[in-house]
Structure 1
Amino acid sequence: MDVGSVLSSLLEALADRHSVRSVDLETEAIVVRGRVLLKQDRFLQVYFNEETGTTAIALIEDEQRIWGVDYDDLRGWHVHPVDDPDKHRDIDPMTPSEIVEALADAWTQLS
Structure 2
Amino acid sequence: MDVRRFADELLAALAAQGVFERMSLQTEGPIASGRAYLRSQEDQFLRVYFNETTGTIAFALISNQQRIWGVDYDNRRGWHLHPVENPADHVAIEPPSIAEIVLLLNEVLSGKDKLGS
Report the TM-score, using the length of structure 1 for normalisation. Answer: 0.94
**Is 1:24 equivalent to 2:24 in the alignment?**
yes
**1:68 pairs with one of 47, 67, 70:** 70
- Partners of 1:27 and 1:60 in 2: how far apart? 21
Question: Any residues of structure 2 matched to 1:1-111 within 5 Å, and which?
Answer: 1-39=1-39, 40-41=41-42, 42-109=44-111
The alpha-carbon deviation at position 18 of structure 1 amounts to 2.9
Q: Is the 8 A contact 1:82 1:109 kept in 2?
A: no
Structure 1: how far apart are the matches of 2:36 and 2:48? 8
- Consecutive unaligned residues in structure 1, runs of 5 or more: none
Cα distance in 1 for partners of 2:16, 2:95 equals 23
3-state DSSP of counterpart to 2:95: coil
AA aligned opposite 1:80: H
Distance 2:77 2:37 in 1: 27
Could you give the per-residue CA deviations for residues 36-67 of structure 1, whole angstroms, max 9, x where no partner exists?
Answer: 11132310111000011001110000000010
Separation of aligned partners in 1, 2:96 and 2:17:
19
Q: Displacement of 1:35 after TM fit?
A: 0.7
* SS of corresponding position for 2:4: helix
- Aligned letter for 1:6? F
Shift of 1:94: 1.6
Q: Is the deviation greater in 17-26 or in 44-53?
A: 17-26
